[in-house]
Amino acid sequence: MTENLVLDSWDRIDEWLRHNAPRTFATLGPPAGQEEIAAAEEELGVTFPADLVASLLRHNGAMDGAEAFRFSTDDRLLSVSEIVRDTRWMRDIAADLDEEEAEYYWIDAYLKFGSYGVTSDGLTIDCRRGQDSYGAIGRFFDETGTDFGRAASLGAYLAELADRLEHGRDGGAVTFNGRLYWEWARSLEPDWGSADDRLPRPDEELPELDLSCSPTDVLHVGFLDGLDELGALLAVLPREQVAQAARKQLRRVAVETGLNKYPEVRTVLDALDRGEAPPRPDQADPLALRLRSVIVRANTRRDDHRRWAAEKMVHGIWGSPYRSVCESTSIRGHLTVDWRTDLHADLGNPPLPPIPDDRFWGTLRNPAIDSSWHAAQYAQDQG
Residues 107-129 have a mean pLDDT of 93
Ordered strands of the 122-126 beta sheet: 76-77, 110-115, 122-126, 137-141, 145-151
What's the one-letter identity of residue 264?
A: E
pLDDT in tens, 184-205: 988 888 889 899 999 999 888 9
Residues 41 and 33: beta-carbon distance below 8 Å: no
What count of residues does the chain have? 383
What's the predicted TM-score (pTM) here? 0.90
Which pLDDT score, from 0 to 100, does residue 350 have?
A: 97
Which pLDDT score, from 0 to 100, does residue 219 have?
A: 95
pLDDT of 52 > 80? The answer is yes
Identify the CA nearest to 289 among candidates 196, 210, 207, 193. Answer: 207
- The percent of residues above 70 in pLDDT, for the chain, comes to 100
Identify the CA nearest to 364 among candidates 372, 167, 170, 204. Answer: 372
pLDDT of 1 > 70? The answer is no
Those residues with Cβ within 8 angstroms of residue 135's Cβ, 6 or more apart along the chain or in another chain? 2, 49, 50, 51, 52, 125, 126, 127, 152, 153, 154
pLDDT in tens, 308-349: 999 999 889 999 999 999 999 999 999 999 999 999 999 999
Which pLDDT score, from 0 to 100, does residue 102 have?
A: 75
Q: How confident is the model at residue 297 (pLDDT cuts 50, 70, 90)?
A: very high
Q: What are the angstrom distances between the C-alpha of 341 and each of 224, 333, 337?
A: 16, 11, 9
Q: Residue 132 phi/psi, 5° resolution?
A: -60, -25
Nearest-angstrom CA–CA distance, 207 and 216 = 25
Residues 362-366 have a mean pLDDT of 94
Nearest-angstrom CA–CA distance, 159 and 175 = 20
pLDDT in tens, 13-48: 999 999 999 999 999 999 999 999 999 999 999 999
Q: What are the angstrom distances between the C-alpha of 263 and each of 198, 199, 268, 276, 285?
A: 11, 11, 9, 17, 13
Between 3 and 79, where is the model more confident? 79
Given the candidates 3.40.1580.10, 3.40.50.261, 3.20.20.70, 3.40.50.10800, the CATH classification of the domain at 2-182 is 3.40.1580.10
Residues 223-250 have a mean pLDDT of 96
pLDDT in tens, 141-154: 988 889 898 899 99
How many alpha carbons lie under 13 Å from residue 128 in its C-beta half-sphere? 13
Summary mean pLDDT of the chain? 93
How many alpha carbons lie under 13 Å from residue 121 in its C-beta half-sphere? 12
What's the one-letter identity of residue 339?
A: W
pLDDT of 99 > 80? The answer is no
What's the one-letter identity of residue 97?
A: L
Identify the CA nearest to 107 among candidates 149, 64, 46. Answer: 46
Residue spans in the chain of domains classed CATH 3.40.1580.10 = 2-182
Other C-beta atoms lying within 10 Å of the C-beta of residue 374 = 20
Q: 260 — alpha (psi -120 to 50), left (phi > 0) or beta?
A: alpha
